[in-house]
Amino acid sequence: MNEVKVLLTSVFGPYGVKDEWGEELGMQMELLNNQVTRQQGVHSPRQSYLSFALYLLAENISVRSTVLDFPLWDDFVRELGQGYTHVAVSFIVPNVLKAKRMAEYIRLHYPDIKIILGGYGTIIPDLEKTVPHDDCCRGEGVRWLRAYFGDDPEAPIVHPVLNNPVYNYVYGMPTKPRGSAIFPGVGCENGCRFCITSHMFKKEHVSLLPGGREVFEVCRKADREIGAKNFMVLDENFLKHEKRARELLDEMTRAVKPYVFVTFSSAENIRRMGIDFLVRAGISRIWVGVESKRNLHDKTKGIDLKELFRELRSKGIIVLASTILFHDHHDRDTIQEEIDWVIDLDTDLVQFMNYHPWPGTPLYEDLDRESRLKNVHYRHQHGAGELNFVHPHIKNPEDHERYLKGAFRRTYERNGPSIVRMAQTALNGYLQAVKDYEERQSRGMAWNAESLRYEKNGSPEADSFMLERIKVMKEEAMRYSPSLLPALVFGPTMKSRRKTFSLMRLYSRATGRPKVTDILKSFLLTASACVEFCRVTIRRAQGHEGIVRQPPVHRVEYPGNRSVMRT
């Protein structure tokens, strides 16, 4: 009998290219340029991330495995010749035809291979009619795959160390990835009626790293192995689990390791934990779902979002506000009011997505009962084009794409490049942190880990951890400095250019005259931006929104983790 050997693969590329199996609009292998800084052209940071779940799975099963991430078709076909007994394909809904082609090829040429499907694409009803397969994982994959291969589902989770992002371009110039990623858990208890993540996991949070100590140890491991100090925390509502967040800060404080985090949180949990806690814990960027002006969700009710975001930004925390277009109450007037309301919240970044009923959510069930679901093929259900349901007021499919694209354009024209706003927030936060520290020392205040507040203390000592945090905040702010010259040169309006110029002067006053090396970086970045601007302009003249970058194929072999075998 052949040894069990599994291939864990993402769907094949190229991505963001319209062909027989995939779409262009909304399907780039990038988050920011695809659905946050869209329409910002040369100013849009370009990043691509690994298919994180594949590596987590490979680390946590006893059988030999290979992760094949971002393969082209020929890469996938060649890999199948390596003697696999199982192939697990992870995919999202609009990539269903890519998964179909891969599965059909396996059936034809390697009929003995077992096909396993996973990822959000598994929510498609009657999936077996489209994509041939033997088994399907719907939900948390580590425990499922362990049980499938006869391992102990409850063995401790082994967290992978991964470079993040795969690539990073700023004004067309590549920079070395400098961070990693952490997966504390999956699922969300909030249960928003449109959210497939929440309902796929039955409105529960499934913990992978249950405590702050476990999260901290992952940070320490990544620090030792790849020098990572910055981490993307992939957890739908990280601050909701207060004990874990408190423990993480305690561990960092004891070790004097001021790691930096990008994470997700609801407004209610930001208010509960307090912004001083977020600053101290190293939250540098936070993604907050605001959804709608009408406050249709408990997570935002009773909270002055504009004031909350103003306070976060004043303390150096970059805010990404996420909102949804095409609620039922939206018509041609109210949808514009909604767009303007979100822009007026004055955040650094804004995500717009079209309202989308995914199978398995209450929204989908409600619209199904109302006979409002449309027969839109799954390959087109990417949230950036035609709605897959009948809207009561805006029925023309061309308007669905036009309003979304226009929302991004309106944000860019009114607020200018997001990269400038992020630089402003980072610098202001560093300066405020210095000011706050000095004021607390003069008033005899110290951090109280129980109340999560600064309080009077008879004889406070120097806050060594916060001093290290302030150094890191300065470094974070300085990372943006070279971007300001190309932002000035290619600013979309005179107002935007004046704002950028004022920020450049503030940087000089706050951090001193730039070094020769910093000036050289700025000029090199501006030269790179000239090339990038021309490339974007040519692509737009050809009828595309901009440049589509492809992540390189990423292949890693794993020998199998024997520690997870049943004893």
Angle at 72 between CA 70 and CA 76, to 5 degrees: 90
| 500-543 residue pLDDT tens | 999 999 999 999 888 899 899 999 999 999 999 999 999 999 99
Question: For 221, phi and psi rounded to 5 degrees?
Answer: -65, -45
Closest CA to 236 of 208, 275, 278: 208
Least confident interval from 87-91, 163-167, 532-536: 163-167
| 288-315 residue pLDDT tens | 999 888 766 667 778 899 999 999 999 9
What number is the average pLDDT over the span 206-233? Answer: 95
Angstrom distance (rounded) from CA 147 to CA 137: 11
Chain-centroid distance of CA 257 in Å reads 24
Can you name the CATH fold of 167-416? pyruvate-formate lyase- activating enzyme (3.80.30)
Q: N- to C-terminal Cα distance for the chain? A: 23
Residue 1, pLDDT above cutoff 60: no
Which one is predicted more confidently, 226 or 1?
226
Contacts of 558 (CB under 8 A, 6+ apart): 58, 59, 64, 65, 66, 67
| Residue 240 amino acid letter | K
* Residue 352 bridge partners (DSSP): 323
Strand-pair category, 5-10 with 135-136: unpaired
Contact present, 250 and 243 (Cβ < 8 Å): no
Given pLDDT bands bounded at 50, 70 and 90, which one contains residue 205? confident
Angstrom distance (rounded) from CA 5 to CA 7: 7
Closest CA to 179 of 483, 547, 476: 476
Residue 188, pLDDT above cutoff 90: no
| 328-371 residue pLDDT tens | 999 999 999 999 999 999 999 999 999 999 999 999 999 999 99
- pLDDT for 552 equals 95
Angstrom distance (rounded) from CA 337 to CA 354: 16
| 73-83 residue pLDDT tens | 999 999 999 99
Give the residue range(s) of CATH 3.40.50.2300 domains in the chain.
5-158
Angstrom distance (rounded) from CA 82 to CA 93: 28
Contact present, 266 and 301 (Cβ < 8 Å): no
Look up tokens 């400095």; give the residue. 481
Say if domain 5-158 classifies as CATH 3.40.50.2300: yes
Give the residue range(s) of CATH 3.80.30.20 domains in the chain.
167-416
- pLDDT for 297 equals 67
What number is the average pLDDT over the span 190-200? Answer: 83
* Residue 206 bridge partners (DSSP): 186
* Mean pLDDT value across the chain: 94
Percentage of the chain beyond pLDDT 70 is 99
Strand order in the sheet with 135-136: 135-136, 114-118, 86-90, 5-10, 64-69, 554-558
Contact present, 179 and 228 (Cβ < 8 Å): yes
| Residue 564 amino acid letter | V
What number is the average pLDDT over the span 7-16? Answer: 97
Angstrom distance (rounded) from CA 66 to CA 557: 4
* Residue 10 bridge partners (DSSP): 90
Q: Which two tokens stand for residue 518?
A: 């910093």
Contact present, 160 and 67 (Cβ < 8 Å): no
Residue 21, pLDDT above cutoff 70: yes
Closest CA to 162 of 70, 228, 251: 228
Contact present, 41 and 103 (Cβ < 8 Å): no
- pLDDT for 295 equals 61
Contacts of 165 (CB under 8 A, 6+ apart): 47, 48, 49, 50, 177, 179
Strand-pair category, 114-118 with 185-186: unpaired
Counting runs of H as helices and runs of E as strands, what totals does the chain give? 19, 19
Strand-pair category, 135-136 with 114-118: parallel
